[in-house]
Amino acid sequence: MCIGPLALRAAPVAVALAMALPGAAQAHDQGSVRAGVTPSSTAPGATVEVSVTGCEGTTGSAGSGAFEQDAELTGEGGGSHALKGSARVREGLTGTYDVTVTCDGHPHQGAGTVAVEHHEPAPEAPSKAGGGGTSGLAAHAARDDDAAEAGPGTRHAVVGLVLAGVAAVAVAFRSVRRRRPE
């Protein structure tokens, strides 16, 4: 049997099958599956929520170089429903990382991204409630701790000398008035 005539007869069948199954090709299109990470910018060690749309099944996984391990995704599926899961970001990372989703038996690379930034914790002021209004004093005292440790400055010394001089003059004036007989 010759291969040439067999190939010519099989070509139209292959074209007909490809046209009859366009949904299968589109279901695994790289652009149809999207992953959203919340928060989109996070700190190392934080847990993020991953939400994926475009998967036909009810389970999947989302992996990234930023994750300690893949996020297991579950949900209703069906393309319009999101699959959801969570993952922990590895320590010691910074930068933007791609998220690869595996669902319907196929990997979808670059379905989303996650940004990892080192966040410095912001200092918080004491609350305004309770303490009879002393929380404001505590906040000022915390800022003045550096000045208290340094000790009095030149300005304090000058004020002290002026007050001592005024006190000396007042004592001298009073003693002179008491010595005079009337």
pLDDT tens-digit readout, 92-108: 889 999 999 998 888 99
What separation in angstroms does the CA of 23 have from each of 1, 30, 51, 113, 132?
36, 14, 23, 27, 69
pLDDT at 64 over 60: yes
pTM above 0.75, yes or no: no
Q: Which two tokens stand for residue 83?
A: 């699959």
pLDDT at 161 over 70: yes
pLDDT at residue 123 in the model: 63
Q: 128: Cβ–Cβ under 8 A, 6 or more apart, which residues?
A: 135, 136
Please tell me the least confidently modeled range out of 14-28, 63-77, 80-94, 139-153: 14-28
Burial of residue 43, with CB atoms counted within 10 A of its CB: 0-12 exposed, 13-18 middle, 19 or more buried: middle
**Signed CA dihedral, 80, 84, 90, 94: sign only:** positive
97-138 pLDDT tens trace? 999 999 888 899 999 999 999 866 666 665 555 555 555 555
